[in-house]
Structure 1
Amino acid sequence: MTKRRIGFSIFPGWKEIKDEQISLLKNARDLGFSEIFMGIGPGTHWRTPVNEALSVAKEILKEANKLDYYAFVDINPQILKELNASPRNLSMFMEIGFKGVRADYGFSKEEIVEMSKQMTVELNPFEISEEEVDFIARNANLERIKACHNYYPVLYSGISKEIFIEKNRIFKERGIEIGAFISNPKFNLRTTLEVLRYVEPFDSANYLFKFVDRVLIGDPIPDYESLRQVSEVFKSDITKIRIKVYDESVGKRLDKKFAVENYREFAIVCYTRDNIYEGETCYTKLFKNAVAVRGREVWIFTRDLGIGPYRLVGEIDDINMEIVKMSSEIMLISK
């Protein structure tokens, strides 16, 4: 079974926040973060030349490698040209402490195999075909091949869940680890899936881990709360679903494990051993995303309905609803 991992992004060319990026290293490592994505190209900071960004990266990597991070850097043929490097010679990246390169675009399958002889190569799912992945799998050491999606900073430009799943299939079937990005509330820019652009880090990490092995915060210098939320999801051995609780007297009884049934017509039913609510039957108007209880069951309704005999205790948002649908066992916690 693939081990899950969490990471974050650093942009060395963004010199104004260099000290904040360095100070992030220790706090994040203490919370379980173990990967760093670095962007050194002009798209991450227009005023810093690539060679200068690489020099700053060296300084950051000195501290990162003391903490045993896996750090990988985004490259393309233009970046390699500016640094007098090539697919056959990635020594400058290895010498300053990078453990991997992400082949963003512009590389042939043969060049990727050549790069993998030197260090780990992260494939871009949107720049490589299934046939090319097969060639790489046959000719490279698969332990040095991973995949990492793009992030999409422009509003509405992120990819759909359906395309995401199809791209991931290519790598999952071949045992290749996959990573993707979530944004954080400071910027809400660098996300892979558009549906997660404005979603809190806890929920977006929870959602993304249903599809990938590695979740990385795309936006730089996430605050401690964002790091903590992603860390909590990463460390949990059960999917935690957050609901907005109306009735705290009943809501506090929901903090336990539930098995999930998905076959009802109008609701997802989550059940546990012990009774949650033993009071009088209540008749209430039921609506999409309503959370109600009956005995030892929690009912999460999937559409607007009429009045039914349930005790309404709260509501769930659309992202958490999707997470429930993809889960067989959950724990309900108050949002």
Structure 2
Amino acid sequence: MTMRQIGLSIYPDHSNEKQDELYLLLGEKYGFTRIFMSMLEAKDVAATEKKFKRIIEFGNKHGFSTTLDISPHIFESLEISYNDLSFFKKLGAAAVRLDQGFNGITEADLSYNPEGLIIELNMSNDTGYLDNILSYQANKPFLYGCHNFYPQVGTGLEDGFFERCSKRFKTRNIHTAAFVSSQNGTQGPWNVNDGLPTRESDRYLPVEVQAKSMFMSGLIDDVIIGNAYASEEELKKLGELNRYKLSFSIDTVPVINEVERKILLNENHYRRGDSNALVARSTESRVKYREIPNTPHDNDCEFESGDILIGNDGFGVYKNELQVVLKPHKDSRKNKVGSIKEEELPLLKYLYPWTKFKFTN
């Protein structure tokens, strides 16, 4: 199984080297292992080599692998042959990302480069681009995919388009990556920076919520913060995120009792396989806590999507069963014990039958 990673972005043509180093040290502290670095602005070989090599080598010493974002004109401006990627290897890079494509056979040939560099392909196109490359017998283990990011507000990918593009790579077992946007970062490759997400719907969300959605979609292996510099709090939250298990940040009601708090926060939850449209049911707690009383409270309102309910003493054998509301309804036999935070409600679409999940507050 491909292990999921989190990454940072560095822009040596716009940044301060000391700040970059401090940023990478913070990233190392919180479990980041990838660096995305744009070379699209590079013009001078000597200056580029000196500047990029130092920060890449620093990253390598601290457990990072670096992907350099390049395009066909970079080969021309740096006078590099498509047949010789030794310049990028000399810099210490682990991969090069082709921001713009070639003709299929060129990408296939690049995947056999003797330097052993991974070739990352631009994923943000719903075309037969990948299949064309694979048809030329590309060296598949050395092909990765990575989406674009979009600095201009309103221009990020629509969710449905993002999913279609991603599935083209994921169904062919290609390692994938996409970008989320820091709400603190102001630095990117261009002089317009309204955030740097892949998906437009992510642009103004907390960075950990963006990442949860990416990982829980099952379509993205690596999540990279597109803009620099993310705050330490953002890095910490992303570092603490469970990349494999669905989790919801919640607010609890003031009168939640002891048994409800235990059920809510201490138990392992999964949605029953015989799913319905009204609620997602986690039923093991009703067995474990069947002898524990649960007095009715917060049970006379209409429950909304994202509310979390636990059966009270009036619910018979369903007492102490936990449910997540999917459709509004009323039922006085259930106590409202909390609600999923509004910005995380879109994550409910990943609560499939048998999905394991947890709550944090």
Q: TM-score range by the shorter chain?
A: 0.7 to 0.9
Tell whether 2:199 aligns with 1:193. yes
Tell whether 2:209 aligns with 1:203. yes
In structure 2, the residue matched to 1:85 is 80
In structure 2, the residue matched to 1:184 is 182
| Structure 2 Cα separation of the partners of residues 190 and 50 of structure 1 | 26
In structure 1, the residue matched to 2:269 is 258
Amino acid of the structure 1 residue aligned with 2:279: A
Tell whether 2:251 aligns with 1:218. no
**1:226-257 C-alpha deviation (Å, 9 max, x unpaired):** 111111124x6532211122336447431132
| Structure 1 Cα separation of the partners of residues 305 and 127 of structure 2 | 40
Tell whether 2:253 aligns with 1:246. yes
Tell whether 2:30 aligns with 1:31. yes
| Structure 1 Cα separation of the partners of residues 135 and 240 of structure 2 | 34
Amino acid of the structure 1 residue aligned with 2:275: Y
**Contact 2:308 2:322 survives alignment (8 Å):** yes
| Structure 1 Cα separation of the partners of residues 339 and 104 of structure 2 | 49
**1:62-120 C-alpha deviation (Å, 9 max, x unpaired):** 21111232211111111221111132122211101111110111422122122222221
Amino acid of the structure 1 residue aligned with 2:196: R
In structure 2, the residue matched to 1:7 is 7
Amino acid of the structure 2 residue aligned with 1:279: T
The TM-score, its normalising length taken from structure 1, stands at 0.88
| Structure 2 Cα separation of the partners of residues 252 and 21 of structure 1 | 43
RMSD: 2.5
**203-212 or 286-295, larger mean C-alpha shift:** 286-295
SS in 2 for 1:209: helix
In structure 2, the residue matched to 1:229 is 237
In structure 2, the residue matched to 1:329 is 356
**172-181 or 312-321, larger mean C-alpha shift:** 312-321
In structure 1, the residue matched to 2:70 is 75
In structure 2, the residue matched to 1:314 is 338
**Contact 1:50 1:79 survives alignment (8 Å):** no
| Matching residue within 261, 272, 279 for 2:295 | 279
| Structure 2 Cα separation of the partners of residues 12 and 293 of structure 1 | 53
Return 5+ residue gaps in structure 2 as ranges.
186-193, 312-318
| Structure 1 Cα separation of the partners of residues 151 and 281 of structure 2 | 37
| Structure 2 Cα separation of the partners of residues 298 and 86 of structure 1 | 61
SS in 1 for 2:241: helix
SS in 1 for 2:134: helix
Return 5+ residue gaps in structure 1 as ranges.
43-47
Q: CA deviation at 1:319?
A: 4.9
In structure 1, the residue matched to 2:150 is 152
Amino acid of the structure 2 residue aligned with 1:330: F
| Matching residue within 290, 296, 305 for 2:307 | 290
SS in 1 for 2:247: strand
| Structure 1 Cα separation of the partners of residues 27 and 120 of structure 2 | 22
Instruction: Give the paired residue count.
Output: 327
The TM-score, its normalising length taken from structure 2, stands at 0.82
Amino acid of the structure 1 residue aligned with 2:13: G
Q: CA deviation at 1:289?
A: 2.7
Amino acid of the structure 2 residue aligned with 1:285: E
Q: CA deviation at 1:303?
A: 3.8
| Structure 1 Cα separation of the partners of residues 183 and 129 of structure 2 | 38
In structure 1, the residue matched to 2:280 is 268
SS in 2 for 1:78: helix
Aligned sequence identity (%): 23
**Contact 1:290 1:312 survives alignment (8 Å):** yes
Q: CA deviation at 1:28?
A: 1.5
**286-295 or 125-134, larger mean C-alpha shift:** 125-134
| Structure 1 Cα separation of the partners of residues 343 and 176 of structure 2 | 21
